[in-house]
Amino acid sequence: MISKKLQEARDYENNYLAKDKKDIRPLFHLTGTVGWINDPNGFSRFGDKYHLFYQYHPYNNHWGPMHWGHSTSEDLIKWEYLPCALAPDEEYDKDGCFSGSAIELDDGKLLLMYTSVLRREDSDGEIRDYQQQSVAIGDGVNFEKVSSNPVISTDMIPAGGDRHDFRDPKIIKYDGKYYCFAINRHPDGSGQILVYESDDAITWSFNKVLDRSDNQVGRIWECPDYFALDDKKVLIVSPQETEGKGDNIFPGFNNFFLIGEGEGFLDFDRQTVLPIDFGPDFYAAQTIETVDGRRVMIAWMQNWETVNCGNDLHDYYSTMTLPRKLEIKDGHVYQQPIKELDNYRINEVTYNCIHVQEEQSLDEISGRIIDISLSLKKLESDYCFTMKLAKDDVHETLIKVDSKRGTIKLDRTNSGVRNSSLSEREFSVDFMDGTIELRIIIDRFTLEVFVNEGKQAASMKIDTDIAADKITFMSDETVVMDITKYDFEEGLF
């Protein structure tokens, strides 16, 4: 049975899709059918497709009562829109279907597990949100919320845990049992990950606290994920209110890989905390294991600190990042765009051994839907190299590579963005005797930089009009550059 609220959302989508005017969108970065999106949800494989749901408010480009939007893809690059999957249409989720995950059940159905939000007045007269975990089961298009929802209620939070910050269930099946990892606020005010277990994904019991911030790794954590990678275990968390530390941990909203080890599935002895992405726009990352065994991650290409700016430039607001393959080498998580992206590249152009100093362009290097690989070597002295992208007479987006300081800086001060927060991001990177490699992918309004074969990555959204497509290079000291550029096939979306 499709509720009135869900039908309304689907009708709204269909009316939008039937309109003649189509918006200019990124080509291979997923956006919502129409309106606002945030976190990736329910990243799963079901039938012969990958499914990606997302936090969704179709009716305008601002966060609102949360629905789940839905898309599918065969290769994680070319996406198709499916009808809105969940609407806040039950008493227990009337204030939102917040983030969660999905898993295929043994009977061939797809189960969505999400946070149902209920706002109600407490006996002290205060109005508060209660967050509990619920499930909906379906055929991959239509989902029925089960009658025993919420299946993990606030009563099942261990003593002292906050009853209002309890959300973002990640469901995983291991050794015949279902496990749910949800975030909660510990009495010390910071995040903890609660683990629940179940034989049927409907009846749950509390198992343990997997890990907690102890006010060291930001305050409240959001959107957990948990998986084995090579010989390590990785817990992903998105902390709010992180305290800045050194060159590479920025204050505010963050996304971290917590890397650890442990014997059993739920033994997690944390050893390292690594930022996932150094750009200003990356949050709420989620992963999947692909059919051929790769661990692939996708995230919301946005940050809560920058969300209310430029919302009405398009018919949609926000995109997902590129799907990235994860690998551990020397204790570090490397991330690279998945290889499926290469299938859509065309028009390869290469220039080798270009000596860059005065600002210059290269005849065939320009564009706003491009994949560029670049290697820089010093000629004699260390250098500060600047690449200007998405450029016209007044706009430019800068990537500064400084081998003297050992840093890369992204700068969108002149990229059409109308607020000042997070215009620049600078982070430390490795140079091997003045040599560095970058891969830069621009998809109209998105910029992703992968440094030294994916040892570090940085994501940034820009708002520059797509007519601004020039690219130039300059450097204070001569730098020797090899560069390869591809365009992409049109019509991916």
Contact residues for ligand FRU (CB under 6 A)? Answer: 38-39, 55, 66, 98-99, 115, 167-168, 222-223, 283-284
Map tokens 């033994």 to a residue: 267
Taking the complex as a whole, the smallest distance from the CB of residue 308 to ligand FRU amounts, in Å, to: 14
Using alpha carbons, select from 48, 200, 194 the residue that is nearest to residue 111.
200
Judged by beta carbon, residue 222 or residue 426, the one nearer ligand FRU is: 222
Taking the complex as a whole, the smallest distance from the CB of residue 63 to ligand FRU amounts, in Å, to 7
Among residues 167 and 295, whose Cβ is nearest to ligand FRU? Answer: 167
CB closer to ligand FRU, 96 vs 323: 96
- Which pair of structure tokens corresponds to residue 245? 């530390």
Q: Using alpha carbons, list the distances in angstroms from residue 356 to 383, 434, 459.
A: 10, 14, 25
- Whether residue 300 contacts residue 39, with contact meaning beta carbons closer than 8 Å, is answered with yes
Q: Which residue is nearest to ligand FRU (CB)?
A: 98
**All residues at 6 or more sequence positions from 184 whose CB lies less than 8 Å from its CB, including other chains:** 157, 161, 162, 165, 166, 191, 192, 193, 194
Nearest to 300 by CA among 23, 13, 24, 30: 30
Q: Which is closer to ligand FRU, CB of 168 or CB of 426?
A: 168
Residue 462 contacts by C-beta under 8 Å, 6 or more apart in sequence? Answer: 390, 397, 412, 415, 416, 417, 445, 446, 447
At its nearest, how many Å lie between ligand FRU and the CB of residue 41? 8
Q: Which of 218, 214, 140, 152 is nearest to 179 (CA)?
A: 152
Nearest-approach distance from CB 99 to ligand FRU, in angstroms = 3
Q: Closer CB to ligand FRU, residue 115 or residue 403?
A: 115
CA-CA-CA-CA torsion for 59, 61, 64, 70, nearest 10 degrees? 70
- Which of residues 99 and 254 has its CB atom nearest to ligand FRU in the complex? 99
Closer residue to ligand FRU, CB minimum distance, 181 or 488: 181
Q: Specify the DSSP class assigned to residue 40.
A: E
CB of 119 to ligand FRU, least distance (A): 14
Rounded least distance, CB 148 to ligand FRU, Å: 21
Q: Which is nearer to ligand FRU, 250 or 431 (CB)?
A: 250
Give 368 or 461: the residue with its C-beta nearer to ligand FRU: 461
- Residue 319 CB, nearest approach to ligand FRU (Å): 15
d(CA 183, CA 222): 6
Q: Is 180 helix (H, G, I), strand (E, B) or coil?
A: strand
Tokens of 152: 């993990």
**Token pair for residue 239?**
């902390």
Q: How far is CA 408 from CA 247, 285, 402, 431, 456, in A?
A: 11, 23, 6, 11, 11
Q: Which is nearer to ligand FRU, 92 or 265 (CB)?
A: 92
Kindly state the helix (H) or strand (E) to which residue 371 belongs, with its residue range: strand 369-378
CB of 240 to ligand FRU, least distance (A): 8
Query: Shortest gap between Cβ of 96 and ligand FRU (angstroms)?
Result: 7
Q: What is the closest distance, in whole angstroms, from the C-beta atom of residue 192 to ligand FRU in the complex?
A: 14
Strands 35-46 and 49-57: antiparallel
CA distance 25 to 480: 35
CA-CA-CA-CA torsion sign (243, 249, 250, 255): negative
Q: Name the residue nearer to ligand FRU (CB basis): 167 or 439.
A: 167
CB of 331 to ligand FRU, least distance (A): 28
Question: The sheet that has 97-104: what strands, in order across it?
Answer: 97-104, 110-121, 127-138, 143-145
